[in-house]
Structure 1
Amino acid sequence: MANPVTKPLNIIFAGTPEFAAKHLAALLQSEHNIVAVYCPPDKPAGRGKKLTACATKLLALEHQIPIEQPVNFKSEQEQQKLAAYQADVMVVVAYGLLLPEPILTTPRLGCINVHGSILPKWRGAAPIQRALEAGDTKTGVTIMQMDKGLDTGDIILTAHCDITMTDTSASLYEKLAELGPTALLETLALMATGNYSRQPQDNSKATHAAKLDKAEAELDWHLPAENLALKVRAYIPWPVAQFTFTENNKQHKIRVWQASAIALNHQQTAGTIISADKHGIIVATLNGALRLEIIQLPGKKALAVADILNGKAHWFAPDLAINGQKPNLEGSQ
């Protein structure tokens, strides 16, 4: 439970997706005053490429809060506009724009960020996905004082949660979207008193959560089964793990929505189908095997393997080789 607020703060909120909007919603129900909402310019979306507002902007419109959508903060005019709001603090949640030093120091209490990991672990763009991919058993959110580095600022507060064996990035995202707003309100209550501590990060323990690349979605059967199962969970809902199946010189991209690692001793070449039945398609890997349980054929919806085999059993006959080339990650960030 958050400490009682000594004095409501005037807050500029900056964020973009639904994750950010949930934090803004919590602030709107608090004693604090949201003086402005910053979000990126509207982007084309859908088949018609119609300009579409992000989740944070839609919520701000609903509550008639002033909205700013700068391309960046390089111009002195944009910096002065932000300063004119005379905010006590700027709260940044999945904003997507880098803040230059003049912005970081403009609010009375500076800028704070809600980050989806226990810093200094998983600094960067994809902390939820990288934690899952690495097989971490715990994660959480960190509220930090922002500085000019990438997620390097002093830690004000952390909140933890477990990563279960069935979590995907989608389910973990929802957990942190519930955890984050509570941690944020606790942090703001501390800051409102003017008496709170900040813990510098131990840079020697830092890891980097690189931005996801579509090329990573291609499963490499020359990896251990445990690694592949983690990737499947980490890449839901995007970019979704997949493999390429070739039939009559035509390639089919097959997405994997659920899979599990099996400790199986085999003599098969990695990427070879060992068996296929209603329980799953078992594919040989470098170490053990991966059981595919829910997959999606091109142009179709995701189905349990039992349903897929009713019409495409010949695609997954034992001893067939799945094309599982190592992904080309050139240009990944």
Structure 2
Amino acid sequence: MKVVFAGTPEFAAVALRALHEAGFAIPLVLTQPDRPAGRGMQLQASSVKQYALAQGIEVLQPLSLRMDAKDPQRAAEAQAAHARLLATDYDVMVVAAYGLILPRATLDIKPCINIHGSILPRWRGAAPIHRAIESGDAETGVTIMQMEEGLDTGPMLLIERIAIEDGDTTGSLHDKLAALGGRMIVDALRKMEAGGLEAVPQPEQGVTYAAKIAKEEGKLDFTLPAMDLARRIRAFNPFPGAAGQAGGVTVKIWNAQAVEGNGSPGQVLSANAHEGIVVACGEGALRLTELQKPGGKRLATAEFLKGFSFDGLTFE
């Protein structure tokens, strides 16, 4: 079976690596254009592109796949990509966190299969891992699905579930789901080759949408219950990072636990190496265990307090 692969971040690169190591022929990889990244904002290739080039696989990076795009450059690149796909000998396209919409013209060339990091129909959309943690879900998983024009609405081919542990962040859960997705897509394609893969329509009930994460969501509102904030901190680790303002300084909060405590929302109830940094919330309190000030490193509480004093400060 020959596979065209479309994906961009590390989640997708794990699946690409699994397919390649399983022996599937991969004549072409699609990924998003290089983006500025890091302190110097230099162009950086996606994780998928880096792996593909290291294996000698051809890489295509169109700005869009919509041939009717209003922007002439995007339309021209989409037309070139479409022509390249038509000229490529492949059996299936596998898509994982690509970041571009596949139009009907692309979907009609060959079957397209998506690796999605949730138990569909819950958390369709861009940020299923973040939203599952933020909402306090007890479990999540990976769905292998057939793609159609709707947003993650296609019939399901394989599903596996895993528990969301109390300490899971988006970073740790991402790694678990990426590994699971890599194993499952290999399994799915082998079953497809053998003719043993059945497509099941998604349930009509239980649909939720995982909206893309905005940086502004990282600002913590301490009038909310501590349990909600603890989940949000884990959900936004590593991106975009949760933060609060203390004495005019933006303090990033990377890890925290909900604890008992009473006070005005944002009031620092304690800030010492013995009791830790405890901040009152709308309900309960948060014990902050890993923090970062502007230009600094992520530090455990005891180390952070050596260079920052909360005396007389509140979180806003």
Fold shared per TM-score above 0.5? yes
Q: What amino acid is the match of 1:258?
A: N
TM-score, length basis structure 2: 0.92
Runs (4+) of structure 1 exceeding 4 A deviation are: none
1:253 has 2:250 as partner: yes
Q: Report the Cα offset of residue 87 of structure 1.
A: 1.6
User: CA 1:208–1:310 in 2, change beyond 3 Å: closer, same or farther?
Assistant: same
Residue pairs, 1:226-265, within 5 angstroms: 226-246=227-247, 251-264=248-261
Partners in 1 of 2:298 and 2:36 — Cα distance? 27
Question: What does residue range 61-100 of structure 1 map to in structure 2 within 5 Å?
Answer: 61-75=53-67, 76-100=79-103
Q: Supply the AA of the counterpart residue of 1:270.
A: P
> What is the correspondence of 1:1-333 to structure 2 with a 5 Å cutoff?
9-75=1-67, 76-107=79-110, 110-246=111-247, 251-264=248-261, 266=262, 268-278=263-273, 279-313=275-309, 315-317=310-312, 320-323=313-316
Q: Which residue of 1 aligns with 2:70?
A: none
Q: Aligned equivalents of 2:144 and 2:166: distance in 1?
A: 26
Q: Is the partner of 2:308 in helix, strand or coil?
A: helix
Counterpart Cα distance in 1 of 2:40 and 2:306: 37
Q: Is the 8 A contact 1:13 1:37 kept in 2?
A: yes
Please give the secondary structure, in 2, of the residue aligned with 1:204: coil
Paired residue secondary structure (2:306): helix
1:326 corresponds in structure 2 to: none
Q: Distance in 1 between matches of 2:152 and 2:59?
A: 25
* Contact 1:281-1:316 at 8 Å conserved across structures: no
> What is the RMSD of the two structures over their aligned residues, measured on CA atoms?
1.5
- 1:205-263 superposed Cα distances (whole Å, 9 cap, x missing partner): 111111111111111011000000001111111111100112xxxx2100001110013
Matches of 1:63 and 1:275, distance apart in 2: 54
Residue 241 of structure 2: SS of its match in structure 1? Answer: coil
What is the CA-CA distance between 1:308 and the residue it aligns to?
2.6
Distance in 2 separating the partners of 1:163 and 1:56:
26
1: CA distance, partners of 2:304 / 2:143: 42
Is the partner of 1:256 in helix, strand or coil?
A: strand
Structure 2 partner of 1:327: none
What residue is the counterpart of 2:72 in the other structure? Answer: none
**CA 316–91 in structure 1, closer or farther in 2 if over 3 Å, else same:** farther
- Structure 2 CA distance for aligned equivalents of residues 310 and 51 of structure 1: 37
What is the deviation of 1:191? Answer: 1.0
Aligned residue identity for 1:22: V
Measure the CA separation in 2 of the matches of 1:74 and 1:211: 21
Larger mean CA deviation between 149-158 and 29-38 belongs to 29-38
Unaligned 5+ runs, structure 2: 68-78
* Identity percentage of aligned residues: 45
Asked whether the 8 Å contact 1:137–1:162 carries over to 2, the reply is yes
Distance change >3 Å, CA 77–CA 296, structure 1 → 2: closer
Q: Quote the Cα distance in structure 1 between the aligned partners of 2:295 and 2:45.
A: 28
- Check the 8 A contact 2:60/2:81 in 1, yes or no: no
Note the C-alpha offset of 1:321: 2.6
Distance 2:38 2:304 in 1: 29
